Structure 1
């Protein structure tokens, strides 16, 4: 008596009332999430899906327990889910298996650390890109990224010797993530889904040596098929040589069947076909367009000479010395270059080499009390080069020394030599072809002039 009885709460379940607890109110979707969901709905609407495909896409999303309004990040958004399920011909079980494997793969690859990896492996990236010309320049007529691959000029045998497969795989993932980010930005810019690319693959220069690139091609193809499905619109293989069928037979089984259907091969006469898909102002002049932008090609591996980059500073105390060692891990050896300088005073420099089988080091050069010294040494095998900056003769004065030592393996030097030979050969062939074209044009012009003169000399018919 005198107390208010507790209020009973009833929950509706299967059409009958029963005692229960009040369900917590659902959290409202934030404004940013609503905008993302609205934009994504517009992109999906433009794909032209039928009712059954829409139902399957929604079921796919629910099965994966992905909420509405997720960021457009290329991982869990509706456009990414569409790529996975459409790549599997709308078979739910196959799409679920591939997508779950994809999410596990992203965790294993530590995608959040990918940019940090790139910052810490600039030399490795520079090596790969100096030998493998792959770039995105412009867009096709539908706004898709236009990718150029110059496969024929890759020094495949040297590439296989210099590039390690784990580093190549990581580089490829990093490059693909940049491409996917580019397509998301293009989607937002154009207001329509951009999730595929158009590729122009230049096969000119391919030879039997190109077979050495097959393992690297396999790594790229398998990675893309599993983790970046349904992103290819067209692949145009142009300037294909006579050996192309044999090379294609080596890689055909690595290529996804959906992608194989989109490959078109031309030995010549491809310009008209390319211009059907790419505007003339965008297509590079090398392939029949008007764009004169220079595309990346094999430039050779950058060789840094000692003294051409920032020097390392070191203070050598009085009655002391400093030793700097650089190793050569190439069994064929390589080339060392060094430089040392002081702005004031002097120091003694001794350079020694010790091969991996040598018991004692061999003196390469010695410089007594100098303010500057430089030199080079050609190693024939594995070992280490040691620079000793000796200030033990100075009782009171320390010395500020600046120095640099660089090393290039024999493999790198040989690769650059081969690339230069190929460049010279290609330039000579281009000059010869240009001379032939000029001779043919001059001959045609002379014949036309002769016909014109003959026509003037003939009497006019009444």
Structure 2
């Protein structure tokens, strides 16, 4: 079994893409160094390797560049905002935050869902029985901020699962699959009164 994620290979990019990647990488180095130091100082139960984090950062830069159609200024702006948001909202602590974990357990009772292994392409698979939950019960049980925290928790968990799968398979996995079962879904169940 492979114990580390596959290394990012800049040579798989075109010459123009490599140049843009390098510009973004160099421009954001101080921000990233500060963020990495912030993460190293967190008291996390799950420790991480600096080298692996740097490799994941390269994949993150590549993903952001692709999503912004290789627009360098826009990519830099978005990544700076993302780093600030993660630090300001303590996102890197959320998976170990007991109150949020407890809220996720309650959420699962209201909105039946399960992590169901992996797809054929090794993406983590999430299945939600969206047709079986009551919106009123959900909104009576959670404040808006708690729902946001649960959503962030869920995203971080699936990013972690994708990263773990990358280690297991030796190929980079950066997404996950969602399946929403709408069986039993009625218009009136979605109505908030």
Question: Matches of 2:69 and 2:100 in 1, distance apart?
Answer: 39
Asked whether 1:145 is paired with 2:124, we answer yes
2:161 to 158, 175, 182: 182
Asked whether 1:164 is paired with 2:143, we answer yes
What secondary structure sits across from 2:180 in the alignment? Answer: strand
Distance 1:70 1:64, change over 3 A: farther
1:57 to 18, 21, 24: 21
* Aligned twin of 2:39: none
Higher relative contact order (CA 8 A, sep 6+): 2
What secondary structure sits across from 1:200 in the alignment? Answer: strand
After superposition, where does 1:15-414 map in structure 2 within 5 Å?
Answer: 39-42=6-9, 48-65=12-29, 66=32, 71-73=51-53, 77-117=57-97, 119-212=98-191
What whole-Å deviation, never above 9, does each CA across 1:425-448 have from its counterpart, x for those lacking one?
Answer: xxxxxxxxxxxxxxxxxxxxxxxx
* Aligned twin of 1:306: none
| Rg larger in structure | 1
Question: Matches of 2:115 and 2:171 in 1, distance apart?
Answer: 20
* Aligned twin of 1:314: none
Question: Matches of 1:189 and 1:132 in 2, distance apart?
Answer: 30
Conserved 8 A contact 1:70-1:77: no
TM-score by length of 2: 0.76
TM-score by length of 1: 0.34
* Aligned twin of 2:41: none
Question: Matches of 2:144 and 2:160 in 1, distance apart?
Answer: 24
1:79 shift after superposition: 0.7
Question: Matches of 1:102 and 1:53 in 2, distance apart?
Answer: 22
Conserved 8 A contact 1:156-1:210: yes
Question: Matches of 2:54 and 2:190 in 1, distance apart?
Answer: 34
Conserved 8 A contact 2:119-2:177: yes
Aligned pairs, how many? 172
Unaligned runs of 5+ in 1: 1-35, 214-462
Higher helix share: 2
1:83 shift after superposition: 1.4
